[in-house]
Amino acid sequence: MPITTVEKDLDALTMTIVAEFPVPVRRLWDAYADPRQLEKIWGPVEWPATFMRHDMFEGGESHYYMTGPDGDRAAGYWRFTAVDPGSSFEVLDGFAKDDGTPNDDMPAMRMRFQFEATAEGSRLTTTTTFGSLEQLEQLIGMGMEEGTRSAMSKIDDVVADLRSFAAGRGVDSRMLSDTQVRISRVIRGSVDDVWRAHHEPELLRRWQLGPDGWTMPVCEVASKVGDTYRTEWEPEPGGPADTGEHGRFGFTGDLLELNAPHREVTTERMIGMEGSETRNELTLTEVDGGTLLALVITYPDRETRDTVLATGMTDGMEASYARLEQDVLVGV
């Protein structure tokens, strides 16, 4: 058990939990920065978490739910009020309704996570500040301390498993709901450079091509909320994708949210097709080895989600991301 102390200060309205781990600070930090790992450590053992959104930057938000042994769900949210990468972060932690909106009938609390190096590895100090003594007693009575101890018991195994989350592993996909999938990959490059590669047409044309043999003759980038983007691909003449037919296709959509260089939200629809539209939420997070790219795609229904994934979409994305690392980021 990594927990060394638990202290409650009724005057300061705080509960402070200290835990130590035999890994470097960076490894422990990444377990909280990467939603694939955070899902394995947040929540009691019997109530594993699913993160629908995780934006670890000041002003960002996380939305999650925990699933109990009988299928019951308990939803929550974080609002990041401060982030010092590799050192600390602070959040407003609250309960949420089934639709993900804050449940104002339940208390919210402020939490600070402090990461420090030790002679044996690293130390995590979590300080929770409650709004009142009544809130403190209510949440402790609901099992908050026991739940935190249970969650902490899972961290050792997660931080020991570096290979599952390392750069070079390739694209991961995880079903989040009947209509949502999260695509994840660690890309060898800084957050700023990966963001630029997604937003400068001359760079996009070099890497966002899927399998070999395609070109991008149209690349119109949305630069502010409300703008429309458009991208089109066609086979390279004489290349492996050239079947003798025209073969051009493309996508268009609108920019809904923008918080450079960490997050953007867009719609996406295939040019020439009516009705079917997705919502794409892109988040970039600094981790050991580069930048964690997480793309949450929301489809109109489960059938559409499964049909699109069955086309080999993630294979094409992996080819593009590998090209991004090898042919673009080495020169930016």
- Please write the tens of the pLDDT for every residue from 103-141: 988 889 999 999 999 999 999 999 999 999 988 888 888
The pLDDT-based confidence of 331 (bands split at 50, 70, 90) is low
Helix%, strand%, coil% for the chain, nearest 5: 25, 40, 35
> CB-based contacts of 294: which residues, under 8 Å, 6+ apart?
35, 54, 182, 183, 184, 282, 283, 284, 285
Q: Which domains does the chain have, with CATH numbers?
A: 3-165 (3.30.530.20), 172-331 (3.30.530.20)
The pLDDT-based confidence of 256 (bands split at 50, 70, 90) is very high
User: For position 165, what pLDDT does the model report?
Assistant: 85
H-run or E-run covering 95: strand 88-96
The pLDDT-based confidence of 315 (bands split at 50, 70, 90) is very high
Between 255 and 131, residue with greater pLDDT: 255
User: For position 242, what pLDDT does the model report?
Assistant: 66
Tell the residue number behind the tokens 């290979």, with chain if given.
Answer: 163
Task: Determine contact, residues 214/197, Cβ cutoff 8 Å.
Answer: no
User: For position 273, what pLDDT does the model report?
Assistant: 81
Instruction: Give the number of other CB atoms < 10 A from CB of residue 131.
Output: 12
Whole-prediction pTM: 0.91
Q: In this predicted model, what pLDDT tens digit does every residue of 185-233 receive, in sequence order?
A: 999 999 999 999 999 999 999 999 998 899 999 999 999 999 999 999 9
Determine the Cα–Cα distance for residues 209 and 319; give it in Å rounded to an integer: 8
Kindly tell me if the per-residue pLDDT of 1 is higher than 60: no
Among 51-60, 135-144, 239-248, 318-327, the least confident range:
239-248
